[in-house]
Structures are given as structure tokens and as C-alpha cells.
Chains A and B, each alone.
Chain A
Amino acid sequence: MSEPKKKDPEYGAPAVDQESRAYWEGCGRGELVLQRCRDCGTVQHRPRAICATCLSSGIEHFVASGRGTVYTYSVVRQNQMPAFREAVPYVVAYVQLEEGPQLLTNVVGCAPEAVSIGMPVRVDFVPTPGPRGEPLGVPRFVPA
């Protein structure tokens, strides 16, 4: 039922701030970086400078496996934003990572109709230089 695909979504530079720099820099190295609280051990995503469970500032980063399964998804068939207008149909999804958190992302590398809940996927990175040309990236997922 899909129309012929014109292109995958294209990513601009992520909006990096002090709290998220480690995440986006990790993506630039091809690593999916998550946070863990040194005090209470809770893993959290999206990145924050404090633990949203115990308010500790003792946040450490670790490299996740990049493996997960599709928790839910939708095939977007209409988006009036110029960056996405030509990319429909494309898949937005929450991927359940092995480490616990879910990640909002795109699933590419297969027909939108091939995506299903529970489907194993692995991370794939698109290099997107930051505002000062530093190597950053945006993670998306492909069938495992």
C-alpha cells in the first residue's frame, strides 16, 4: 500500500546542550551511550545532569549494546514539514533497548510494512556534524 519511497528521513545536526553532549558525541563515535546513577544504580534516558530518581549528580555514562526490539511503531504517511514531506512513508518507533530504556527512533533498512512489534533491531548511526563541525551522529535502527 506504500507509494514508492523517495528517500529516507535526513537528519540535521542534533540540538546539543550541556546535558546531552556525551550522548550525541557517543553517536558520533558509533556508540549508543546511556546513563547510570553511581548512587542508586538507575539507568535513565533521555540524558540529564542529575538522576531523576535520587537527584544525585553522580551520573556515569556507559556504552549500550545497541540491540533491542520494536516496542511500538507507526508508518507516517503525511508530514508537512519540508524535511519529511518527501520521506513518507517512513517508520517512527519506540525501540526497547536490552538495557531497559526505550528510544524514540526511525526503523529503516526494510519496507515499512515489514516492521512489527517485537521485531529484533540494532542501532545504526548517521554522521551529523555539530555546529562547530565536531563529529556527532543520530541513531536509528535497522532489522537485526
Chain B
Amino acid sequence: MSFSGQIAIAGVYEHPSRWTPDKTTYQIMGECARGALEDAGLTLADVDGLFAATMTMGGMGVVQVAEYLNLKPRYLDGSNIGGSSFVSHVAHAGAAIHAGLCDVALILYGSTAASDAMAIGTGDTSSRDPGSAFVSPYGMTLVSSYAMVAQRHMHQYGTTSEQLADIAVSTRYHASLNPDAKMRDLITREDVLASRVIADPLHLLDCCIISDGGGAVVVTSLERAKDLRRKPVVVRGTGESVAHREIGAPDLTTIAAKQSGAQAFAMAGMTPADVDLCTIYDSFTITVLVTLENLGFCKPGEGGAFVENGGTRLGGRMPVNPDGGGLSSNHSGMRGIFLVIEAARQLRGGLGARQVEGAEVALVHGTGGYLGLMHSGATLLLTAD
């Protein structure tokens, strides 16, 4: 039985700092927990479900987080499927609450990627996973795994660097409206194309920034959320998926979002035409373009025309990442939680210049991992109550 329409996001908090060399990841998570619980009008004592993921915690990370916050929750989920983890945590929390396994779920993330000088896009990609042996000899950086998708998309459909650049330009415009965003000076298409190439065809300004940061989300039943401080944001649809090398020959332009998006739309009883805004994991400009196609906002191959000339800007065909996204506002390695937070803020309304006017339906899509190698996808459809 679906929990569509019965679960709500009751509290959100995005850490305002993008540079925290004076803080640990646990401290950031603690401050975010405080912020999101205050937002909801709840306290730590109300939390009985704990969800957490970071880039640096070990396999028992969520247990460490419980110890740090002196919590003894009755539901634990430390699943880490990459940067999309927190989008899936909302779905998992909804299922757990619906099943009576917990009442108030707290989802946490913290990172000091910038002050630790982590080379996320162009650093070490090796791991102990057996498949890594077939990757690590060749120097495939994270950026180049996305770049190979872009190159293939350009070949198949004639997509251009100019069209990709327009995504970065629109997102930077949004960041200029967000006082907390890291990069707020407006850029042009020419600025993107003139920035140095990191991995063909992706330029520096096609790539997300690296910041410190953290966030927290409180999920509970809609019934309980109605009695809390803020207007509830209702979870209508959820979906999860993976895409990988299969047994050798996948189509790289078909990504995990296709499956997770279809599932979320079906659960919500909605179509892309119902959506007022999207928050999409914008690790790179190409990620946004193929995600929009795979979610069904346009047909495969039409993404370039969809995003160009402000297609993803406020007032455009589909506003994407009105907070300034990972390209310009906040990317500390695992951005998924900020996608949930901004979608909830937009549905509550009152964001001033960056508010999507009359926003009633928001789609959240997180991508985790290496787009051209293996990745996870998680989709949420959220509405104002």
C-alpha cells in the first residue's frame, strides 16, 4: 500500500556556511539537526528514526551519529548510494513511518570537502570494489565519466557546448538571488566556453563547485506535521534505481532517472506537465540535461533545445535549482539533501526574488556516483499541503 499523500517533510535546514575549517562533519550535522528540529517545532527527544550519510564516515556511520547526538532511535538507516542518498532517505523514512516503525525521522549530512581540499572531480577514483580493477588503470576521473556521456549525447543528437553552458548561466543567475550561494557573480555563455576544459567537452564552469556544508530534513506523518510549526510539504511519489555497465554495453544516455522518475510519477498519479519546478543534482551541466530527458520533460535528444536560452531559469520552460544548485551555491560532495531542502522551501513559499511563483508541485532528482560508469538515481514528487 502506497504512502503517497500520507508523509510530510516537517522541517528543513541548510547550513549557511560554505567554508567551515573550524568545524567537524559531526558538528555540522549537529548544528543542522538543531536547525531542522527548530524549524519543525520539535526537539531531539522526538526523534526515533535516524538517517545519515557522509563521504567520510565508515560503514557504521549512522551508529556513530547516534552516539554523537546521544540518540537511541528505534529505526536506523545509514544507506549510502552516493549523493542521491538523502533523496532516497526521504522515501525510506516515509515507508518506515507508514509501517509504524518510527514517527519522526531525522536525516543528516555534513561535509568539510572544501576545507579538506578534497579533489572530488579530478582525484582518486580507485576503490576496493572488484569492478574498480577495470577502471583504475585508465585514469577515468569523475569529471570524465560525465564528459563521456556528454560526448555521446553530442554525437547522437547534435547537442552543443553552448546549450550546456546555458544551464550554468541560468543556475548562476539563481545563485545571484541567493545570499548564501558561494558563487554569485553573473556569468555568460561565453564565460563558460572560455573557461578551461577539464575533460572534453566539459569546461570548468560546466562543473559544480566544491564547498563545505551540511543539511538536515525532518520527516513525519502528514497527520502529525499538520500540528507542527511549518506548513507541511507532502510526499506524493518516490522512486529509486541504478544504472551501470550491465554486462558490457549500456546506452550511456539512458540514466537511472528514467526508472526512478517513472516510478515516482506513477505513485503520485502525476506527469511532468504537473511539475512547477525541479531540483536536479547538477554535478555537471550534462547531468541536468540528461536528467530532464530521462524524467520525461522532453524527449531523448531534445534536452539541448529545452535548456538553451534560459530554459531552466526562473520563468523559463522549467525552473531548475532556483537556489543556485551545485554549480553555483553549495556542493560539498553529496548534494542530495540540498535538493530536498530547496524543493521544500519553494513549496512553502516566500523566498523573495528566487521564489517560483505559485509553486505547488516540485520534483527532486538525485544522481549519485559516476554517470558514465555506475550511478544511483532517486526521485521525489512533493506538493504543498
A-side residues, CB < 8 A to B, are 1, 9, 11-12, 14-17, 19-20, 42-46, 52-53, 71-81, 83-84, 87, 90, 92-94, 96, 100-106, 112, 117-118, 138, 140
Give the interface centre of B122, B201, B248 by most chain A CB atoms within 10 Å: B248
Determine whether B274 belongs to the interface, using a CB cutoff of 8 Å to chain A: no
- Please report which residues of chain B, range 343-385, place their CB below 8 angstroms from some CB of chain A when the two chains form the complex: 372-373
Instruction: Provide the residues of chain A in CB contact with B155, threshold 8 Å.
Output: 72, 117-118
Residue B290 interfacial (CB < 8 Å): no
| A92 and B137 form a contact (CB under 8 A) | no
Partner of B122, one of A12, A72, A80: A80
A43 to chain B, nearest CB (A): 7
User: Is B100 an interface residue when CB atoms closer than 8 A count as contact?
Assistant: no
B247 to A17, Cβ gap below 8 A?
no
- A20 & B138 in contact (Cβ 8 Å cutoff): no
Q: Is there an interface contact between A74 and B148, defined as CB atoms closer than 8 Å?
A: yes
Contacts of B144 in A (CB 8 A): 74, 76, 92
Interface residues of B in 163-178 (CB under 8 A from A): none
A127 CB → nearest B CB, Å: 13
In the complex, how many angstroms separate the beta carbon of B371 from the nearest chain A beta carbon? 12
Please name all residues of chain B whose beta carbon is closer than 8 Å to the beta carbon of A92 when the two chains form the complex: 138-140, 144, 148
A106 contact set on B, CB distance < 8 A: 138-139
Contact: B131 with A46, CB < 8 Å? Answer: yes
Residues of chain B contacted by A81 (CB below 8 angstroms): 123-125, 139
**How near does chain A come to B203, taking the closest CB pair, in angstroms?**
10
What is the minimal beta-carbon distance from A92 to any residue of chain B, in angstroms? 5
Is B151 among interface residues, defined by CB-CB distance under 8 A? Answer: yes
Q: Is the pair B122, A78 in contact by a Cβ cutoff of 8 Å?
A: yes
Contact in complex: A83, B199 (CB < 8 Å): no
With A78-B143, A79-B141 given, can you name 17 additional A-B contacts, CB distance below 8 Å? A1-B197, A9-B138, A9-B139, A14-B137, A44-B248, A46-B131, A52-B247, A72-B148, A81-B124, A92-B148, A94-B252, A101-B248, A101-B249, A102-B250, A104-B138, A104-B373, A112-B200
Q: How far is the CB of A83 from chain B (nearest CB, A)?
A: 7
Tell me which of B122, B131, B134 contacts A79 (CB under 8 A): B122
Chain A residues with Cβ below 8 Å from B136 are: 15
In the complex, what residue of chain A is closest to B154 when comparing beta carbons? A117
| Complex interface: chain B residues within 8 A of A46 (CB) | 131, 134, 245, 248
Q: Mark B119-130, 1 if CB is under 8 A from A, else 0.
A: 100111100001
CA distance A15 to B87 in the complex (A): 34
B132 within 8 A of A: yes
Considering the complex, give the chain B residue whose CB is closest to the CB of A117. B155
Question: What's the Cα separation between A106 and B148 when bound, in Å?
Answer: 13
Distance A9 CA – B140 CA, assembled complex (angstroms): 11
Given contacts A14-B133, A92-B144, A117-B151, contact A77 B248 (CB under 8 A): no
Q: CB-defined interface of B166-209 with A at 8 Å, one 1/0 digit per residue?
A: 00000000000000000000000000000011111110000000
**What residues on A are CB-neighbors of B134 within 8 Å?**
20, 46, 104
Q: Are A90 and B139 in contact (CB under 8 A)?
A: yes
- Contact A73–B148 (Cβ < 8 Å): yes
B139 x A79 contact (CB < 8 A): yes
The complex places the Cα of A45 from the Cα of B134 at a distance, in Å, of 10
Q: How far in angstroms is the closest Cβ of chain A from B156?
A: 9
A16, B151: Cα distance in complex, Å? 31
Known: A80-B122, A106-B138. A19 touches B130 (CB 8 A): yes
A9–B137 alpha-carbon span in the complex (Å): 8
B151 engages A104 (CB within 8 Å): no
Q: In the assembled complex, which residues on chain A have CB atoms less than 8 Å from the CB atom of B196?
A: 77
